Structure 1
């Protein structure tokens, strides 16, 4: 693939976030299927992509700031609690959310790994938008606040490793994050939490569960 072809692919891929995102709340659909719910992982990817888009001149810095602020403001103010139609609980968020209301969709679980992708995206935006303006200061404040609200210790459910998630009415899922996987970002964020950090033993328990194969 030539540099020109790669550049075209990058721009068209970024276009997904420009075209499909709900401008009212920052929800990004999981796919282009009709009536697809929003995915909090996709929203995290969008938050990471906006700074890249600014650098590639796919959108202006001001446009990116507006998109990021819309998203972070929504999640900060969205309903948190045990109600089955909330957006999240204990700082975590449901895997799938309604594109219009931003509330739980498809009976999905409160997802620890997808919340990690969302929070990582918020932190990327907070690091990139570093100017001393009212809007960019708010981005940094909201990103830090969302990160601090996540209760990683609660998600351990009394064990060392972090559970896959939780559902209202039935509680924690039976599985924990074990073995080398995308959970690296989850444990890194959990260990570095400024408010509810995972204990060192959590990371040790996770790495001890690796099963290497030749």
Structure 2
């Protein structure tokens, strides 16, 4: 069943596929105007001008550091062994907790690629690159993915950007990943909505995306039942990972995408059984005066919980039939995270009103899902910057501090480095696709709401939200 998408596309694209043989459908290659030069620290910028600089420079990660063969987003820009910590750890614990992986220049992130696609839409909207160059790049990506490893329409977490072959995360995680695929397809549907014209390049891209969207078999990951949706499937290890998609966490978008599928939608019963009825879904406690409706981590988990799903899902006016207000959820989780950093119970250097934000990212111990429960004194720039839609004034305080006060240590050709600890005088040299992408996209949601507007306007998405019991004000506009 592997690479079912590629087989599907051969017979379905029909007349639109033929022009691709001459490359006319992909548009012209990037011209000189589409080369984005990096800039250093510029003094006395207005808030709007500073947002321009940060978004634009961060986008360079996806535009100039993308894999040259496929256009996919590389996982990270260092090629050393990365240690991934998933369990609770503390400063004194120097032993790896769960997983290590070696990433070279060929390793690309499927979820990060979806975020890069969203960022490319922002880049065209802001005039950093031309529509022709963007369509050329995006078509290159979908054409590559049509021939790459794909399992029942679902892509792996990591992929070789030159060959399209799966890069195993670990011994038994060597196949499909529905959460990463949900970010990829979220980005592609957003781009499809933006490039919605009738020119041949646009029609070709639209058709490619629609075929990928139609081929994704989300129900395969339910094992044919309604008890659970499983994160991973492998052609050699089947469902041996045995990892249900439970929350509350960054995987809410996976249920929304799965319920929105035109050909393989999951049922509300599956969503209720695996997601809503999970003991880790509802919180209801109050921290620092802010009620946290969802997420049973003490004082909330890492901030990417409130960013990945909401790259394209607008939480404003979004409610469900369980009484959850997602605008309250996203804002209050962010405010709790900030309030914890201001309290600073471990007395780390640097924490304060202009320096807060705990989320997953690189640290002096490897990649860690930082949060109040796992606080190592490491701040990720993406945490506060990707919170602009929720806390614009507070996020701007952090942005100005990072740029003007810490820019010498953090600012580089792809924007801000991934993390830092002033207590340990440690500053990352790395950038990660899944941290850089949300900076570009969430700042744009704050500025114009474009990504939210494009994705929430998709009829399939509106049907999926309704199927799961969500109500959105955007559906009424």
Among 178, 199, 208, which residue is 2:277 paired with? 208
Superposition deviation, residue 140 in structure 1: 1.0
What does 1:58-77 align with in structure 2 at a 5 Å threshold? 58-77=128-147
Give the structure 1 partner of residue 55 of structure 2.
Answer: 10
What does 1:1-150 align with in structure 2 at a 5 Å threshold? 2-34=47-79, 35-36=104-105, 37-78=107-148, 87-107=149-169, 108-150=174-216
Distance 2:161 2:67 in 1: 7
Superposition deviation, residue 211 in structure 1: 3.2
Contact 2:221 2:229 in 1 (8 A): yes
Distance 1:178 1:106 in 2: 22
1:40-59 residue CA offsets vs partner (Å, 9 max, x unmatched): 01111111111100011110
Give the structure 2 partner of residue 156 of structure 1.
Answer: 222
Give the structure 2 partner of residue 81 of structure 1.
Answer: none
Superposition deviation, residue 213 in structure 1: 4.8
Contact 2:176 2:234 in 1 (8 A): yes
Distance 1:40 1:140 in 2: 19
Contact 1:27 1:102 in 2 (8 A): no
Give the structure 2 partner of residue 84 of structure 1.
Answer: none
Among 175, 179, 185, which residue is 2:247 paired with? 179
Q: Which runs of 4+ in 1 moved over 4 A?
A: none
Distance 2:68 2:195 in 1: 19
TM-score w.r.t. length of structure 2:
0.42
SS across alignment from 1:16? helix
Distance 2:242 2:284 in 1: 25
Stretches of structure 2 lacking an aligned partner (at least 5 in a row):
1-45, 80-103, 286-477
Contact 1:30 1:39 in 2 (8 A): yes
Distance 2:136 2:260 in 1: 28
Distance 2:168 2:270 in 1: 31
Which of 1 and 2 has greater Rg? 2
Give the structure 1 partner of residue 463 of structure 2.
Answer: none
Distance 1:77 1:141 in 2: 15
Stretches of structure 1 lacking an aligned partner (at least 5 in a row):
79-86
Superposition deviation, residue 154 in structure 1: 0.6
Distance 1:151 1:168 in 2: 15
Contact 1:27 1:99 in 2 (8 A): yes
Distance 2:205 2:152 in 1: 21
What is the RMSD of the two structures over their aligned residues, measured on CA atoms? Answer: 1.5
Among 188, 191, 205, which residue is 2:256 paired with? 188
Superposition deviation, residue 16 in structure 1: 0.4
